[in-house]
A and B are shown apart, each in its own frame.
Chain A
Amino acid sequence: MDTGIKKLLIANRGEIAIRVIRACRDMGIRSVGVFSDCDATAFHVRMVDEAYHIGPPPSTESYLVQDKLIEVARKAGVDAIHPGYGFLAENASFAQRCADEGLLFIGPDAATIAMLGDKLQARKAALEAGLPVVPGATFDPENIAEALKKADEVGFPVLVKAAAGGGGKGMRVVQAADQFAQAVRSASNEAASAFGDGRVYIERYLARPRHIEIQILCDRHGNSIYLGERECSIQRRHQKLIEESPSTIVDEDMRRRMGTAAIKIARQTGYVGAGTVEFMVDERREYYFLEVNTRLQVEHPVTEMVTGLDLVKAQIDIAEGKKLAHTQEDIKLNGHAIECRICAENPEDNFIPSTGKLKNYRIPAGPGVRVDSGVVIFSEVPIYYDPLIAKLIVWGKDRTEAIRRTRRALEEYRVSGVDTTIGFHRTIMDDEKFIKGDISTRFLEEEYPGHKYSRLTDDLRETAAIASALHTFVFTRRINVAARPRDYRAGSRWSECHRRLNLRNFQGSR
């Protein structure tokens, strides 16, 4: 099918909706957006060409309702639907529904999504394609004795994982045999309630693994390429916070081997579109297949920065049936890119989400700096969705320059009204182990126990003390002339004090 897309529905919100809108504009495609009640004036609604209301704030009544999205698609007369990430991006039934309705779904076909979404099937496909997988085993949950024997063969500690898993749900680390039966039961129960599928399996637990993934692009004509790797080891609760490309431990040879492995599983499964093949890498730099993500990843911009490609445009081109614009030989990684996820969360309070209105919002700029933001000043950050409000992506000619620029950009970033991860990122950019590239997925729990991320110089501490004292002085002066507010959240009017003091000075000078 070689149909040019004229109009595209974006079944998402926030920064990724805006990312897709931008690609559409660059390609001359008309964009259609959707919004829930609380997103009526959201940034993506202001940016998009057309926007339609799809329901109340909870995503189960809006962004996840397939009927409503299909109805908008019909009403607006779109040719294609881009799901972004999250929501319906890896929902096989939605991909099938789009196909049935004659709409082009920007992603692989429903069967591929279903197959790779099942971790056991994906693992089987990887084994068939000859990829190294973490030693592990499947078992009959009714036969714990046999399962225990298999766990012993794999070797404790083991990881119990849900076949339908994701986001750390249905996952348990088991240190020794006596905890095994209990862990299997609780993981299975958790998986059953979260995914409606209680199947679990075991894998050897790697002590300090890195999470490294390969970006792939596959067209409908049998061409597939890999676009280097992304190192995503800085995580909390299995959610990534900082990603970079290239990885400090991947050299040309390892990149070629991992890239080739990624292409193998793509071919094995008949993959079409942009995808990500995730690997765990142990301390000996041995890599093991983890899973395939059949969507555009949050962290795709770091790959764009080092390859110069537009991955959303590539996705749309592939969906339209075009051949890949590049061969493997064309792909050269240039420089180094780092992405910091700017989330409305309080890192010191175990990354608890923070909501509210952005009273101030100023994004960094300058050489090498890109901000994919889903919000603008005065935006509301609602409680209903992902706390990711923006992504700061920084490019440098090498990692040292990229880190320096990231520091600079973080210091330029100004957000008030919600807590953010900006300070957390600023601290990590000064972390000696991070700078050396000595990281693993346990980096945060090992280096920052208790989530204490604040690392201040004497200068900054003293300056903060002066600011705090001045603010108190000005604030208490003000409340002595005005009614005392009951809920005074935003701080103060600094100027009131100046005016009063200036007045006094003025009077005094007479």
Chain B
Amino acid sequence: MPRYLVNVEGHEYDIELKYRSEKYYASLSGREVEVSLHELGESRALMLIDGNSYEVDVRSNGYDRKKVVFMKGMEIVTEVEDYNLATLRKTAGIDTDASVDRMLTASMPGLVVDVKVAPGDAVSGGQTVLVIEAMKMENIIKARGDGVVKEVYARAGTSVEKGDKLVEFE
């Protein structure tokens, strides 16, 4: 089932979603809440969370992880990421620290959608390295620090298995 890491103003929520009998169930670190979701047109929806009513308006920009939730007169900035991808990004993300492994590998199966770097490219922190679709979600893998690309193993349009080499840095 889909599982997400959502960051709201420095607070991290680990949310796993289930769907049964026309209702969603969200597990937050083991605690489950029932969500009945009704679309209201455009980006708006009514959520009844264990009976508590929230009319929300969620605005996002395509694949951007940032989503702005408008409710109760408040504008709330959230950052959402697939749980496994977030784990991948955190553990295998590019880092300028010499002690960190220079090889970026896939920690789960997925489809390489786009490769943004080539051997010899200098990348800086925050720059997009590649895009992987996994768990039916596109994830932008960004460089976590400055570095130079030594070798690119990932090819756009191909599938990768867990442990496959993606990009190697010098």
User: B73 to A423, Cβ gap below 8 A?
Assistant: yes
Residues of B close to A427: CB separation below 8 A: 74
Residues of B close to A419: CB separation below 8 A: 75
Query: Taking the nearest CB of chain B, how far is it from the CB of A342, in angstroms?
Result: 11
Q: Does A426 contact B (CB under 8 A)?
A: yes
- Asked whether A494 and B73 contact (CB < 8 A) given A454-B9, A469-B4, A470-B24, the answer is no
Within 8 A of A (CB), among B46-100: 47, 49, 52, 54-62, 67, 69-78, 80
Within 8 A of B (CB), among A1-60: none
Residues of A close to B54: CB separation below 8 A: 463, 467
- Asked whether A456 and B15 contact (CB < 8 A) given A416-B42, A464-B71, the answer is no
User: A487 to B62, Cβ gap below 8 A?
Assistant: yes
Q: How far is the CA of A292 from the CA of B163 in the complex (A)?
A: 73
| Partner-binding segment picked from B33-41, B119-127, B149-157 | B33-41
User: B58 to A471, Cβ gap below 8 A?
Assistant: yes
Residues of A close to B24: CB separation below 8 A: 470
Residues of A close to B20: CB separation below 8 A: 505
Q: Does A461 contact B (CB under 8 A)?
A: yes
Q: Does A462 contact B (CB under 8 A)?
A: yes
Residues of B close to A360: CB separation below 8 A: 42, 44, 57
- Residue from B28, B37, B49, B78 within 8 A of A494 (CB atoms): B37
User: A467 to B71, Cβ gap below 8 A?
Assistant: yes
Binary per-residue interface labels of chain A (228-267) against chain B in the complex, 1 for a CB within 8 Å, 0 otherwise: 0000000000000000000000000000000000000000
Binary per-residue interface labels of chain A (414-449) against chain B in the complex, 1 for a CB within 8 Å, 0 otherwise: 111001001101110000000000000000000000
Query: Taking the nearest CB of chain B, how far is it from the CB of A33, in angstroms?
Result: 30
Residues of A in contact, count (CB < 8 Å):
52
* Majority secondary structure, B binding face: strand
Q: How far is the CA of A338 from the CA of B73 in the complex (A)?
A: 17
Q: Does B162 contact A (CB under 8 A)?
A: no
User: B74 to A454, Cβ gap below 8 A?
Assistant: yes
Q: Does A483 contact B (CB under 8 A)?
A: no
Q: How far is the CA of A494 from the CA of B59 in the complex (A)?
A: 12
User: A488 to B11, Cβ gap below 8 A?
Assistant: no
Residues of A close to B60: CB separation below 8 A: 471, 475, 488, 491-492
| Partner-binding segment picked from A124-132, A135-143, A158-166, A405-413 | A405-413
Residues of B close to A413: CB separation below 8 A: 73
- Residue from A416, A472, A494 within 8 A of B80 (CB atoms): A472
Q: How far is the CA of A467 from the CA of B58 in the complex (A)?
A: 7
Residues of B close to A477: CB separation below 8 A: 136
Q: Does B17 contact A (CB under 8 A)?
A: yes
- Residue from A412, A466, A488, A492 within 8 A of B47 (CB atoms): A466
Between-chain CB contacts (< 8 Å), 12 pairs: A360-B42, A416-B44, A419-B75, A454-B76, A464-B71, A464-B76, A465-B13, A465-B80, A467-B78, A469-B17, A498-B39, A505-B20
Q: Which 6 A-B pairs have the closest CB atoms?
A: A491-B43, A494-B39, A426-B73, A465-B13, A410-B73, A465-B6
A residues whose Cβ falls under 8 Å from a Cβ of B: 359-360, 407, 410-416, 419, 422-423, 425-427, 454, 456, 460-473, 475-477, 479-480, 485-495, 498, 501-502, 505
Given pairs A422-B73, A489-B62, 17 additional interface contacts (CB within 8 A)? A414-B70, A416-B42, A425-B73, A426-B74, A464-B69, A466-B13, A467-B58, A468-B4, A471-B80, A472-B80, A473-B2, A476-B136, A476-B137, A486-B62, A491-B58, A495-B39, A502-B22
